[in-house]
Structure 1
Amino acid sequence: MTFLPTAQPTMSIWGAIQSADQIAPGIWHVSTPSHGGILLSEQRQAAMPDALRRDEPFYEEDVNWALVYLGFEAELRRVDRPAMGAAILLAHVTVRSWRPQAYSAFTGKPVPSRDSHVLRAIAAYEAVIGEVVVVAAFGSYADWVPEGKTGVIGRRVLSVDHLGSATYEMIDHRALVDADRYDSCQIVNSFTAIGAEPLP
């Protein structure tokens, strides 16, 4: 299929476009004062593979830009631009990590959990469904937290979605835990695992 160049866009879902660069016909990288990403022409959006296509032709710059690079990888590899090969490699890493289901559906290759933050988060939350987990933590600067302790607010996990985001029961549980047992780097800290002592 031959794709046609399009006129430079002036507006996006992120606001007025300050700069725009047509990477390939109908594939625009755009920037606004607040955000940016890839904007596709109607022809390009229609040609996006089903597994990678978003509902709208806007692919934000944090994650979804990489879907476009995968969708048109063969063509983009022929584009004479500095670091295009590195951008395509990064696109594979990004989609594997943050859109693993889309990656598997598009490539036919399963994504191991070690390669995907999303899959690790899903597994971590699935393991504690029904348990209370930390959703906020406070040091001894808070008037209700003694020295050597971390104050935690927890909620019971009800479910987890395909992006690794949990749904919680909307009831807060306050507790104290020994400061050295709470690790904010963990995806999930269940009250049981960290030995949280509930407060009245």
Structure 2
Amino acid sequence: MPSYTSVPAPIDTIWGVPDTKDQVLPGIWHVTTPSHGGYVLSDERQAAMPAALRRDDPFYEEDVDWALVLLGFASEFRRLPTAGITLQVENARRSVRAWHPDRYSAYTGEDVPPSDSHVLRRRAAYTAAIGQYASVSASGDWADWVPAGKVGVMFRRVEGVDALGFARFSGDPIHGLVDKDQYGKRGDVETFDSLGAVRVESTAPITKQVASL
């Protein structure tokens, strides 16, 4: 197994100046800042990261990308005398499978079914909605422009979708009114048509005194 060189603690990160710094393995620092944190890799470690798991920069944030580091150097992490480290490594594997299914498949050679990854499910849903208007925000009937029993929804046209399943939108938004019960049954990705929305030209003229459509 390759040996790696310990390096000085990072002075700065993309999240700001670190408050805490811990070199968990030679060349792998875990840092926290007032805003965020994660793993920071030395040049040597970054170069050694498996290509399928490697970010363009050496900063692996604590919400999702931390798992790439534990999976990439799993055998070393498992040997750490840290309580529960085996479970942490296994959780990292599951996290990469769910959040980075393409990277996971490229690294392991295992296919990830959509049932195991909300990213794949969301990506498929937005891909199917390309060219349609998808809901992006909503207001309850507490808003001046939404009649009682309705939900006011803003929709934008789906132009494309990225690898993480986030839509790219284009053009101006449109607005519609949706029955509250129908809106309560919504899925992760809904469109103007799937919600049965009724178009309103703008939010300005609509008031609670307008009869439900």
TM-score of the superposed pair, with normalisation by structure 2: 0.90
**1:28-177 matched pairs, under 5 angstroms:** 28-177=29-178
Matches of 1:128 and 1:135 in 2, distance apart? Answer: 13
How far apart are residue 9 of structure 1 and its match? 2.3
How far apart are residue 189 of structure 1 and its match? 1.2
SS of 1:75's equivalent in the other structure is: helix
Matches of 1:22 and 1:157 in 2, distance apart? Answer: 43
Alpha-carbon deviations, 1:36-83, whole Å to 9, x = none? Answer: 000111111110011011111110101111101111011111111112
AA in 2 matched with 1:98: W
- With over 3 angstroms needed to count, the CA separation of the structure-2 counterparts of 1:55 and 1:184, relative to structure 1, is farther
Matches of 1:138 and 1:155 in 2, distance apart? Answer: 15
AA in 2 matched with 1:145: V
How far apart are residue 98 of structure 1 and its match? 1.0
AA in 1 matched with 2:116: D
Alpha-carbon deviations, 1:79-107, whole Å to 9, x = none? Answer: 11112112111111111111110000001
Matches of 1:97 and 1:45 in 2, distance apart? Answer: 23
SS of 1:95's equivalent in the other structure is: helix
Instruction: Name stretches of at least 5 consecutive residues in structure 2 with no aligned partner.
Output: 202-213
Matches of 1:23 and 1:35 in 2, distance apart? Answer: 18
AA in 2 matched with 1:137: A
AA in 2 matched with 1:9: P
Q: Does 2:184 align with 1:180? A: no
Matches of 1:146 and 1:41 in 2, distance apart? Answer: 57
Aligned to 2:197: 196
Alpha-carbon deviations, 1:6-38, whole Å to 9, x = none? Answer: 222232111111111111111111001111000
Instruction: Name stretches of at least 5 consecutive residues in structure 1 with no aligned partner.
Output: none
CA contact (8 A) 1:182 1:189 kept: no
How far apart are residue 132 of structure 1 and its match? 1.2
User: What value does the CA root-mean-square deviation take over the aligned residues?
Assistant: 1.2
Instruction: Provide runs of 4+ in structure 1 moved above 4 Å.
Output: none
Sequence identity percentage: 50
CA contact (8 A) 2:186 2:195 kept: no
TM-score of the superposed pair, with normalisation by structure 1: 0.96
CA contact (8 A) 1:183 1:189 kept: no
Matches of 2:12 and 2:185 in 1, distance apart? Answer: 39
Q: Rg: which structure is higher?
A: 2
Aligned to 1:10: 11
AA in 2 matched with 1:138: S
